[in-house]
Amino acid sequence: MPQGIAEELIDEIRQRTDLITLVGDYLKLERRGKNLVGLCPFHHEKTPSFTVSPDKQLYHCFGCGASGNAFTLIMELEKMTFPEAARFLAQRAQVKIPERREAPTAKERLQEKVYNINQVAARYYAYCLKSTTAGKQAYNYLRKRGINDETIDLFMLGFAPAGWTGFYDFALKKGAAPELMLKAGLINPGRHKGYYDRFRNRVIFPIFNASGKVAGFGGRTMATGEKEGPKYLNSPQSPVFDKSAILYGLNLARDEIRRSKKVVVMEGYTDVIAAHQAGLKNAVASLGTALTEEQCRLLRYQADTVVTAYDSDSAGEAATWRGLAILQATGCLVQIAEMPEGSDPDSFIRQFGAAAYIKLIEEASPIIEYRLGQLKKRYDLTTDQGRVGYTKEIMPLLISAANRVEQDYYLKRAAEEIGVDENALRSELKRRRKDKNRLPEEQAEQDSAVNLITINPAEKILLSLMLQSKEIADRGRKLIESDYYSDPRVENIFREIWNLYAAEEVFTAEKLINRLSDPQVVRIITAAATDPALQDLEPRTAKRMAEDSFSKLKRAWIERRQLELQRKIRELTAAGQLDQIDDLLRESQHLISGNENNPGRSGEGGDLSG
Ligand SMILES: [Zn+2]
């Protein structure tokens, strides 16, 4: 049950959300018969098995079994809880949700406070940049680097004055507690007593999280020389800031990324700012030399193509390659925009102009192409040693190829480079593929596949039919006893169906899913509700199938019960407790005779198919 959000609102969100459009925000879909299919976002695949039904508003993957509705999709893809996903969808569908009433946790309260003090600080720095004499120098510095007023406002750029307590005094006057400023990483404790500002005499770049809240700051010194400390200074880790899990500019780039399905990843603040100003609105920065796995995860479902535009000297970072390999393995096309030696996006744009830069991004080469070129430069392919090293390094690249055609193409090229038979290379690849082709996620998914719900075919049929017909559901409620279910979770599903019918004549499987949170349960419902063999049946056929399934459920239970009774009778006989056997024998006899009649309890309800 969704905490804090009224059921009517959930209904409204559901009615105003189209699953096809929603899925379309994340992946490409194409029509196949009544449904649409695409590459599954939950497992690595090269042919589409992720199926979305427009009629039912459900999705199901025939590869990994992932399934559900709009709400579960967002929960999974955006890593949200149900209420978060509901809010996300509400905003998208422009449904207003009143603020929740239950108290936020201590952690959430602290985070909210840190965001607030960060916002105060960002405003303070922005004010200092534009309206103080001390800020004039920083402002001129930015203008000289080609950053215009509009961009300064868009990125909320600022200036931290040189004094030791400018911000601290300001915030204190505003009533902020020093401890909070400390937690936010805005001040440092003094050596003897008191506090001093962390950022001093620096141009300030507020770092926003994906939803546009100020999570932290980056400060750049304008001076050169050891005395001024590091060129860049970031906020420390805080309750809302984790440098490795945030992408600078993502809040501004999100719409364009979703529209173009492409993201350009750069290294620093000024690169992103220059790119946005030049019209490249899908640029983000990794705030460090390497792109982390966490950051790749942020991008994974938002773009089909990830272009990296790093400084030429830091493009070789091992961590970046790991991140890119993960992206590539999830079906993303990864490209490298090769910068001329010694230049970064910011300096390139200033030197050659926006158009030249956009062209450079458009002409980015696929990661394999780029890496092969690099390796060729690094190894001397005229020696055995060089060829061995080269072969060893190209293998993971070939394995990560987006598809067979691409793999074959590069395999042939590599074989030519080193002058070996391509079949030799191919069998080496095959050998390595065997132990490497499983993604860590797939491994985890298989590991968690314990404690699976067992639903028998009769239950599955009834689940589907009851969703389609209140009459069959009513009949089920009369006929199915608690003991008949193969798993208590199946019983739970059935009960929820009857509860829904008690409230309304007709409802969808999609609605049912929202009431049950267990992903396995969701999977079972979706599978039953989308099984083509159980759809659009003639009413007579449906009723006949239902009756047949009721009987089967009961018979299965009788068989289980008979075995149990026989076992008990044997035990009691062996123990000589014959006086206790009578009841069991009578029950056993009763089961046998009951089974020959109607599957239902005697006297209740007529047969549907009659
Ligand atoms: Zn899948």
With helix as H, strand as E and coil as C, how does 89-131 read?
HHHHHCCCCCCCCCCCCHHHHHHHHHHHHHHHHHHHHHHHHHH
Confidence of residue 596 (pLDDT cuts 50, 70, 90): low
**How many Å lie between the centroid of ligand 1 and the Cα of residue 517?**
19
Two structure tokens written together for 288: 């460090």
**How many Å lie between the centroid of ligand 1 and the Cα of residue 43?**
5
Sorted by where each begins, the domain ranges of the chain are: 7-93, 106-241, 245-363, 371-447, 457-596
- Tell me, what's the pLDDT at 566? 86
Q: Which helix (H) or strand (E) holds 159?
A: strand 158-160
Say if CB 458 and CB 552 are below 8 A apart. yes
**How many Å lie between the centroid of ligand 1 and the Cα of residue 31?**
18
Count CA within 13 A, CB hemisphere, residue 386: 12
Q: 366: which strand partners? A: 335
**How many Å lie between the centroid of ligand 1 and the Cα of residue 76?**
12
Confidence of residue 331 (pLDDT cuts 50, 70, 90): low
**How many Å lie between the centroid of ligand 1 and the Cα of residue 136?**
55
Q: 264: which strand partners? A: 283, 307
**How many Å lie between the centroid of ligand 1 and the Cα of residue 150?**
44
Q: What is the DSSP letter of 248?
A: B
Q: Which helix (H) or strand (E) holds 53?
A: strand 50-53
Confidence of residue 448 (pLDDT cuts 50, 70, 90): very low
Confidence of residue 155 (pLDDT cuts 50, 70, 90): very high
Domain 245-363 sits in CATH at 3.40.1360.10
- Tell me, what's the pLDDT at 313? 58
With helix as H, strand as E and coil as C, how does 502-544 read?
HHCCCCCHHHHHHHCCCHHHHHHHHHHHHCHHHCCCCHHHHHH
Q: Where are the beta strands (DSSP E) in 199-291?
A: 202-208, 214-221, 232-234, 262-266, 283-285
**How many Å lie between the centroid of ligand 1 and the Cα of residue 436?**
19
**How many Å lie between the centroid of ligand 1 and the Cα of residue 259?**
24
User: CA 261 to CA 326: how far, in whole Å?
Assistant: 18
- Nearest 5°: phi and psi at 174? -80, -5
Read off the pTM: 0.57
Q: Which helix (H) or strand (E) holds 58?
A: strand 58-61
Say if CB 573 and CB 581 are below 8 A apart. yes
The residue whose two tokens read 């990661």 is 367
**How many Å lie between the centroid of ligand 1 and the Cα of residue 44?**
7
Burial class (CB in 10 A: 0-12, 13-18, 19+), 477: middle
Domain 106-241 sits in CATH at 3.90.980.10
Measured over the CA atoms of residue 459, residue 460, residue 464 and residue 465, the dihedral's sign is negative
The residue whose two tokens read 């969703």 is 467
Alpha carbon of 548 to those of 74, 325, 491: distances in Å? 38, 52, 19
Average pLDDT, the chain: 83
**How many Å lie between the centroid of ligand 1 and the Cα of residue 475?**
35
Q: What is the pLDDT of residues 192-239, one digit of tens each?
A: 888 999 999 999 999 998 878 999 999 999 876 656 678 888 999 999
Highest-confidence segment of 15-19, 176-180, 410-414: 176-180
**How many Å lie between the centroid of ligand 1 and the Cα of residue 104?**
35
Q: 499: which strand partners? A: none
The mean pLDDT value for 245-255 works out to 90
- Please provide the DSSP assignment of 348-398 as one string: HHHHH-HHHHHHHHHTPEEHHHHHHHHHHHHS-TTSHHHHHHHHHHHHHHH
- Tell me, what's the pLDDT at 308? 87
The mean pLDDT value for 326-338 works out to 76
Overall fold of domain 7-93: DNA Primase; Chain A (3.90.580)
Two structure tokens written together for 320: 């970046």
The residue whose two tokens read 């030399």 is 289
Asked if the 457-596 domain carries CATH number 1.10.860.10, the reply is yes
* Strand 214-221 relative to strand 232-234, pairing: antiparallel
Say which range, 89-98, 171-180, 195-204, has the weakest mean pLDDT: 89-98
The mean pLDDT value for 165-184 works out to 95
**How many Å lie between the centroid of ligand 1 and the Cα of residue 39?**
8
- Tell me, what's the pLDDT at 154? 96
**How many Å lie between the centroid of ligand 1 and the Cα of residue 84?**
23
**How many Å lie between the centroid of ligand 1 and the Cα of residue 47?**
11
Asked if residue 373 has pLDDT above 70, the reply is: yes
